[in-house]
Amino acid sequence: MTAPIPEAADVAADDTTRPPALELRHLTKSFKVGSESFGRASRVKAVDDVSLQIESGTTLGLVGESGSGKSTIARLVCRLLTPDSGQVLVDGVDVAEGRRRSKAYARKVQIVFQDPTASLNPRWKVRRTIAEGIRAHKLRPRDEIDARVRELVDLVGLPENSLDRYPHEFSGGQRQRIAIARALAVEPEVLVLDEPVSALDVSIQAQILVLLQNLQDLTGLTYLLIAHDLAVVQRFCDRVAVMRTGEIVESGDPSIIHSNPQHPYTKALVEAHPVPDPHRRGAWGIKSSTNGQGSVA
Amino acid sequence: MTKFVLKRLAHTVIVLLGVSVMVFFLIRYLPGDPVDLMFDGGDDEATAEAIAAGREAFAEGRGLSGSLPSQYFNFLGEISRGDLGTSLFRNVSVTTLIRQTLPLTFQLAVAGQLVNMLLSFPLGMLGAAKQNSIWDRGGTALALIGTAMPNFWQGIMLILVFAVWIPIFPVSGVMDLGIDLREVTHIPVVDAVITGNWAALKSLMMHLALPAITLGASASLVRILRSSLLEVKHQDFMDAYRARGVRERSVTLHMLRNALPTTVVIFGIRLGTIISGSVVIETVFAYQGMGWLLINGINQRDYPLVQGIVLTFTVFTALASLLTDIVHGWLDPRVKVTSSA
Amino acid sequence: MTDINDLGVATDSAPVDDLAPERKQRGSLIVAFAWAIVVGWILVALLAPWIAPHDPGTQSLVNRLQPPGTSGHLLGTDAIGRDVFSRILHGARLSLGAAALVAVFTSIVAVSIGLISGYFGGWVDAVLMRIVDIWLAFPGLILAIAMVTALGRGLDKMIIALVLAGWAGMARIVRGETLQLREREYTMSAQVLGVSKPGIMFKHLLPNIMPTILVVTALDIGSTILGLASLAFLGVGIGSDVVTWGSMLSDGRNYISTAWWVALFPGLAIFTIVLAVNLVGDWLRDRYDPRSPFRRAKLDAAMRAAGEGQLDAPGPAEASRVAGDGTTKSPDGGQR
């Protein structure tokens, strides 16, 4: 079903078909720590000369422990932060052209946050939350918004009566589906997933990941998946990049990374996270499926 | 610590500059042309030209001519030299008037603060120590009542009871007439003590009593003191002390010491209330301090005087605030860390 | 500069050793009573022209300084024979009406500035907060007096003056709240979604700071009423031609030795309404202010019971969150 997975070495070579959906070039971002005035403002490099490419319709997993800078990358990519230097390119176009965060950019890159409870406005009904993006970009005339919202809710596998309920009436997994629906509402090309399943129960994690996979198959979305759990990355990603203290230390095919990690840090990471045998079928065994939530059609 | 002090100092300087701009504009913004308001046309028979010339001269003399920025810089220059202008009504320099009245307000403010502490501390501590007891409830109720009562009403009622019905205290004024007091520091109470003039001291105290009580009773520290003491009391390290068997009395002492920084800050914040309160209370008691003078000045349209007093009050408040901040920072090291102006 | 809100000390709701049920009972009785007083005065203010036995301005030199209980004059008459009771009823209109107007306009100004300052951050925030500092450097009443003096006499000017004098404190509180809410993930989601800045401010931030605004306004009304009365007493901005409790007290001061009732009753009126309003404000704060530890505790307990975790609490990742422009801000939104 998927296109052949390019080896890390191949990608740098000429890509005659199209530019990568998302590319980061020498991205650097540091933060001030401690008191700002009267000198002695030390800076911490959260992201240090990071470069990545993600081909359209594929998933890149970004792994690392807390503090490695992966969340900062997420924020840089969706422009909640501006980099100190370096570029973010979507479809080969530098996004920094024009204003800091132009509205059109929202149609290119969207984000799903880790904590679905915090990312949904508790006072808003689900309907309004999902419709927010549609309204902001005027993607549908007013009388069609409702139909579109119903489409989206169906797409993420939630019943239609969810629309008139409030976030607190749902479970964590369901809230995450709402968040995904909201992000899809503006029809982005790239979806940044900042640890989308870390806050969920293990059994639910699989469902959400399957949903995401199905959506990708259906729409050709490109994913930047940030996670700290190698198992998740293993099953789901076409390529993996490992981050540590702001830098990418290793990247490549997930199974190769797992079986033959090069960098000592990656080795440590792999050893710390036992991954179920990828050749054994089970809860994790099937990558794309029609069981569980969401149908491809 | 030095960095902290310097930062606070710089901040205060900026704020005071802003204050001077505001005061400058407030007076310039008076309805009608300030020059017309202040300039007495002079002799009715003078020619229109002479009047116009006189007006020009007056305006220049008072720094009311020229572009606005230049007026402001003149203003700033004068202030820094201590020249606050001349009172329109009394024809004396504003600075002199302030110098005469400031000590009186100062002694009233200090007396008021003392009364406030005497009232608030016992009530606050009792309330924290015996939470929810009748003492606590009563103290809180008293505090609530105290803040709701208009201070001028309190003053008037005190006059009614303790000066009219039961004539213990005098109704108004600073000191009985006919008593001579040699001035050393210009603060009457201090001078009376220094010169051993007990008659004067007694008179001063009697006149100070009711205003000070009124001033002290309305700015209430009780609830806040109680809250901050309770916060400390309930913190874990206090239980640790108790668990180790430290005597309850020492525990209380620790509690006090930890609540001290907050109390100091509240003190400083209440300063503004005390100063505002003194304006009203001096009027009630016809106590001729700076607040009383301010109201007089307003009623007499004596704008240089009003400007000078507002400025003086504010500068003092700001400096006292600065001092409080520094003491707070010294007492509670956490303040310096979170502080980044 | 240090501000009471930066201290993290809840001024009135402190942790309790135990919350005895009778205490809560008795507490709610008092609150009910306070509400009754507030409603009562509001009715008085609205209906004064109809329920007052006399016209507040009618003078009668024959009838001057009559003690309370004199026929037709429940609370006596003042120095020029005007009925004290009627004047008190009419005085309520000004005290309450003007205070309400001041409260409304102050909120509007404070919220606008606070929202903009908190949301945009950067130099906008720095400048606006410096201005707030300058405003707050003035002792409260003094600033009001200065403003009133500058603007001139008249009720409308006095209201404007009080709004100008009093917006700064609330603005700072609003800014603090905004800073916190700005870091909430639903706000950031809205940003990424492409919602415009004003859109975010109106749709996400404003509704969530409303409870705080209402509580702060309610708590401030008491001091607004006192401030108005003080100004009237001092004769600044309003003369005794208008019926105000403050000016009644000012007159009463002059006759204190001979006619104590002229001063007692207006003061009593002010006292009762301010006390009632303060009590109601406290109750509102305990119930509705999201910052009040009292409420937070109750809310958390309720949510935990429902198995939902904490509603509206900052997400786990938020503790290490940095602000959008890369600088670190202290979590309590203190102006530092």
Q: For residue B45, count CB atoms less than 10 angstroms from its CB and return exposed for 0-12, middle for 13-18, buried for 19 or more.
A: exposed
* For residues C5-25, average pLDDT: 44
Q: Does B135 touch chain C (CB under 8 A)?
A: no
State the pLDDT at residue B48.
65
C-beta atoms surrounding A185 within 10 Å: 27
State the pLDDT at residue C6.
44
Tens of pLDDT, residues B232-273:
666 666 677 667 766 667 766 776 777 677 667 777 777 778
Option in A104, A118, A186 nearest C193 (CB): A186
The single-letter code of the amino acid at A155 is L
Whether B292 contacts B300, CB under 8 Å: no
State the pLDDT at residue B124.
74
Residues 243-302 of C with CB under 8 A from B: 246, 249, 252-253, 256-257, 260, 263-264, 266-268, 270-271, 274-275, 278-279
Judge whether residue C20 has pLDDT over 50.
no
Tens of pLDDT, residues B8-59:
899 899 999 999 888 888 877 666 555 565 555 555 555 666 666 666 666 6
Whether B298 contacts C144, CB under 8 Å: no
Q: Which residues pair with A62 in a beta bridge?
A: A226, A241
Mean pLDDT (chain C, rounded): 79
Nearest chain B alpha carbon to A34: B337
How sure is the predictor about A250, in pLDDT bands with cuts at 50, 70 and 90? confident
State the pLDDT at residue C309.
40
Specify the higher pLDDT residue, C336 or C256: C256
Of the residues C120, C181, C186, C187, the best mutation for testing chain A's interface (the one with the most A CB atoms within 10 Å of its CB) is: C186
How sure is the predictor about C163, in pLDDT bands with cuts at 50, 70 and 90? very high
The single-letter code of the amino acid at C248 is M
If you ran DSSP here, which 8-state letter would residue A162 be given?
Answer: G
Judge whether residue C18 has pLDDT over 50.
no
In order of A135, B15, C25, C194, C323, the CA distances from C119 in angstroms are 22, 23, 42, 16, 11
Q: For residue A176, count CB atoms less than 10 angstroms from its CB and return exposed for 0-12, middle for 13-18, buried for 19 or more.
A: buried
Dist CA B290 CA B296 (whole Å): 10
If you ran DSSP here, which 8-state letter would residue C203 be given?
Answer: I
Q: Comparing C10-19, C198-207, C294-303, which segment has the lowest mean pLDDT?
A: C10-19
- The winner for highest mean pLDDT among A93-107, A251-265, B61-75, C237-251 is C237-251
Q: Does B7 touch chain A (CB under 8 A)?
A: yes
How sure is the predictor about A17, in pLDDT bands with cuts at 50, 70 and 90? low
Judge whether residue A283 has pLDDT over 50.
no
Dist CA C308 CA C285 (whole Å): 25
Dist CA A83 CA A92 (whole Å): 17
Option in B16, B275, B280 nearest C234 (CB): B280
Nearest residue to A246 via CA among A43, A1, A9: A43
* For residues C280-287, average pLDDT: 86
Nearest chain B alpha carbon to A37: B340
From chain B, the residues in CB contact with C233 under 8 A are: 150, 152, 280, 283
Specify the higher pLDDT residue, A285 or B5: B5
Whether B203 contacts B179, CB under 8 Å: yes
How sure is the predictor about C310, in pLDDT bands with cuts at 50, 70 and 90? very low
Dist CA C248 CA A208 (whole Å): 72
- The winner for highest mean pLDDT among B111-115, B257-261, C19-23 is B111-115
Cβ-Cβ contacts under 8 Å for B138 (sequence gap 6 or more): none
Dist CA A52 CA C329 (whole Å): 31
Beta strands in A14-112 (DSSP E): 22-33, 42-54, 59-63, 85-90, 93-94, 109-112
C-beta atoms surrounding C228 within 10 Å: 27
Q: Which residues pair with A52 in a beta bridge?
A: A24
How is residue B258 written in tokens?
């930890």
C-beta atoms surrounding C133 within 10 Å: 22
Tally of CA atoms within 13 A in the half-sphere of B213 that contains its CB = 14
Dist CA B223 CA B131 (whole Å): 12
Q: For residue A246, count CB atoms less than 10 angstroms from its CB and return exposed for 0-12, middle for 13-18, buried for 19 or more.
A: buried
Angle between helices B2-28 and B68-80 (to 10 degrees): 120
Q: Does B3 touch chain A (CB under 8 A)?
A: yes
How sure is the predictor about C224, in pLDDT bands with cuts at 50, 70 and 90? very high
Distance from CA of C177 to the nearest CA of A (A): 16
Coil, strand, or helix at residue C237?
coil
Tens of pLDDT, residues A114-132:
888 889 998 899 999 999 9
Judge whether residue A11 has pLDDT over 90.
no
Dist CA C49 CA C54 (whole Å): 9
Judge whether residue B159 has pLDDT over 60.
yes
If you ran DSSP here, which 8-state letter would residue B235 be given?
Answer: S
From chain C, the residues in CB contact with B272 under 8 A are: 138-140
Distance from CA of B53 to the nearest CA of C (A): 27
Tens of pLDDT, residues C108-148:
999 999 999 999 888 999 999 999 999 988 988 999 998 88
State percent of chain A over pLDDT 90: 22
Q: Does C152 touch chain B (CB under 8 A)?
A: yes
Judge whether residue A12 has pLDDT over 50.
no
In order of A213, A220, A288, the CA distances from A1 in angstroms are 12, 12, 9
Q: Does A38 touch chain B (CB under 8 A)?
A: yes
Alpha-helical segments (H) within chain C: 21-51, 84-120, 122-137, 140-151, 155-182, 185-193, 197-200, 206-234, 245-254, 261-288, 293-305
CB within 8 Å: A136 and C194: yes
CB within 8 Å: C193 and A132: yes
In order of A130, A296, B188, C162, C214, the CA distances from A121 in angstroms are 11, 29, 63, 36, 21
State the pLDDT at residue C217.
92
State the pLDDT at residue A152.
92
* Strand A85-90, strand A239-244: pairing: unpaired
Q: List the Cα angle B21/B24/B29 in 5-degree steps.
A: 120
Whether pTM exceeds 0.90? no
CA C51 and chain centroid, separation? 28
Mean pLDDT (chain A, rounded): 79
Tens of pLDDT, residues C232-271:
999 888 776 788 899 889 888 888 888 888 889 999 999 9
How sure is the predictor about C7, in pLDDT bands with cuts at 50, 70 and 90? very low
Q: What is the DSSP string of B286-298?
A: T--SHHHHHHHHH
Tens of pLDDT, residues B277-293:
889 999 999 988 999 99
Tens of pLDDT, residues C62-90:
878 888 877 778 888 888 888 888 889 99
- Any idea which residue has 């005390």 for tokens? B274
- The winner for highest mean pLDDT among B7-21, B178-192, B245-259, C308-322 is B7-21
